[in-house]
Structure 1
Amino acid sequence: MAKSTIFFAENLRFLRERRKLTQQDLAERLGATRSKVNALESGQTKSPVMDDLIGVSELFGISLDSLVRVELSKLGELKLRELEAGNDVYIRGGNLRVLAISVDRNNNENVEYVPVKAKAGYRTGYNDPEFIAALPKYSLPNLPAGGTFRIFPTTGDSMEPIPEGSDVVAQFVADWASLKPDTPCIVILRESQDFVFKLVTLGQDGKVLLKSLNPLFEPYLVPVEEVLEIWAFYAYTSREIPEQEGDMRQLMRMMAKMQAEISTLRTQ
């Protein structure tokens, strides 16, 4: 039987550089020395010990099978994000990182609520079962079967007419490539201590376009590697009755639209 190609050394270097880490940075995160990281990356260590393999797998959120048997640099960014989210579509094996959920006594998934005070910690605790288990839990009727749902509070007025302070019920998106352009979503960003509620469009250039419903807010791009999770909008609840748009708001909306159209014409 032909010997399988092992890509661990190349993948380790690729993943480190993708995160913009130095060998010393990676060594500190793995609890190793820089010389050991250099030996692993250069292939001098022909048979890495299991502790090193597991440490790298957990750090980068890539399954052991893909870490060793798939040449990750040949994959597109969206496919890499699928691997990091636990959707190992290349190799059927054990994924070390999956979506953390909680269940009730009947083994049914809870709908966790991420309160405002927990928003800052969600970025680091989103895949920690203990953190998720500590969140408030609800059981909502009439949710589609087979989905995982979570509730996120909104801030600001960028998604008007949805009122500020609404609670958005959203469904976990495992396959980002399945998102249609301008899908309303809760987006968890890697470097932000907050999450954003935007219209999401995935580009082919490794960028994610985030747009607001409120035209007074300019759309912007973020690198796809900065996105940790995407939750597609399902419903929202609010204690406010949306007010009818006044003349001034309509005028401001029209002016913003005209400015956007003028900017588009200037770039053509």
Structure 2
Amino acid sequence: MSIFSENIRYLRGKLGVSQQSVADSINITRGRYAKYEDSANSPSPEILISVSRYYKISIDLLLTIDLKRYSIDDILKLPDNRIVLPIKVGKTGENKIEIIPHKGKMGYLTGYNDPDYIERLQHMSLPFLRNGKYRAFPVEGDSMPPYNDGTHIIGKYLESKEDLKKGKSYMFVTRDGIVYKRFGKLDNSGTFVSSDNLFYEPYEIEWKDILEIWEFAGSVNTKELETPSNNFEEIKIMFKALQNEIKSLHCP
């Protein structure tokens, strides 16, 4: 409970109130409250609720996040999967964009809600990306040309699935991996997405498997983009025809 103890001591100091004042507000003795700040005793669920309401900070935050490391104003509340998304800001006020590495991108699936993991990531800043939380994700494969291996898609955190826009592209962080796709439509069970490479069939991602959604805000390439062929549309049609032919071969 050391994080909890440090947090309530820090919050009380920020408010400039005494232990007696807090104790009176949550209907316990000052001595009992002091033991929580000293980490001598662990609070009951009822006390946790009272302390959370007094400081107007969620129990999840009080127990798991070192609040001294983040400005309360720079913590973005999230629905469903998590409680907070810390926003790192540089000395000049620009957002710090964390970079998810190509080789370690699967580690993001377990570390995405761990502030210590996020803190260890490399980051960059782009002065024209402000007013939101941004993160850079690696792209692999050929499903979303012209982006290919070596590209990082910069995404802006999407707070609600209701903000999805048809035809726009997004990074979907799911329990199975990270995919960059174009949004088609949604229903109660999930969202339908597609690739720009028509060789790949559209499919549905179920809501229960989605951890985060990041809207396309830019890209950073470490390899030169290939020049599209003049016959690009013809090639897409050819691949689609070939795909249908392959399907027909598997039909009884």
TM-score strictly above 0.5: yes
What is the CA RMSD across the aligned residues, in angstroms? 3.1
For 1:231, the aligned partner's letter is W
- CA drift at 1:253: 0.6
- Are 2:108 and 1:122 equivalent residues in the alignment? yes
Residue of structure 1 aligned with 2:150, choices 156, 159, 165: 165
- Are 2:228 and 1:244 equivalent residues in the alignment? yes
Where do 1:181-192 residues align within 5 Å?
181-190=166-175, 192=176
For the residues of structure 2 that align with 1:84 and 1:107, how far apart are their CA atoms? Answer: 29
For the residues of structure 2 that align with 1:203 and 1:186, how far apart are their CA atoms? Answer: 15
Residue of structure 2 aligned with 1:215, choices 176, 181, 198: 198
Where do 1:87-166 residues align within 5 Å?
97-106=83-92, 108-143=94-129, 145-166=130-151
Counterpart contact for 2:170–2:213, Cα < 8 Å: yes
CA displacement 1:42-101 (0-9 Å, x = unmatched)? xxxxxxx518x99xxxxxxxx779xxxxxxxxxxxxxxxx63156xxxxxxxxxx11133
Alpha-carbon distance change, 188 to 131 in structure 1, aligned in 2, over 3 angstroms? same
Residue of structure 1 aligned with 2:80, choices 84, 87, 96: 84
Alpha-carbon distance change, 131 to 140 in structure 1, aligned in 2, over 3 angstroms? same
For 1:99, the aligned partner's letter is L
For the residues of structure 1 that align with 2:112 and 2:158, how far apart are their CA atoms? Answer: 14
For the residues of structure 2 that align with 1:210 and 1:180, how far apart are their CA atoms? Answer: 11
Say which one has the larger Rg.
Answer: 2
For the residues of structure 2 that align with 1:198 and 1:175, how far apart are their CA atoms? Answer: 17
- CA drift at 1:227: 0.3
Identity score, percent:
31
| Structure 2, unpaired ranges of 5+ | 1-43, 50-57, 61-77, 248-252
What is the aligned residue count?
Answer: 177
Alpha-carbon distance change, 104 to 141 in structure 1, aligned in 2, over 3 angstroms? closer
For the residues of structure 1 that align with 2:108 and 2:164, how far apart are their CA atoms? Answer: 23
For 1:117, the aligned partner's letter is K
Counterpart contact for 1:199–1:210, Cα < 8 Å: yes
| SS of match in other structure, 2:85 | coil
| SS of match in other structure, 1:167 | strand
Greater share of residues in strand: 2
- CA drift at 1:257: 4.7
For the residues of structure 1 that align with 2:124 and 2:243, how far apart are their CA atoms? Answer: 41
Residue of structure 1 aligned with 2:161, choices 170, 173, 176: 176
Counterpart contact for 2:94–2:127, Cα < 8 Å: no
- CA drift at 1:167: 1.4
Normalising by structure 1, we get a TM-score of 0.58
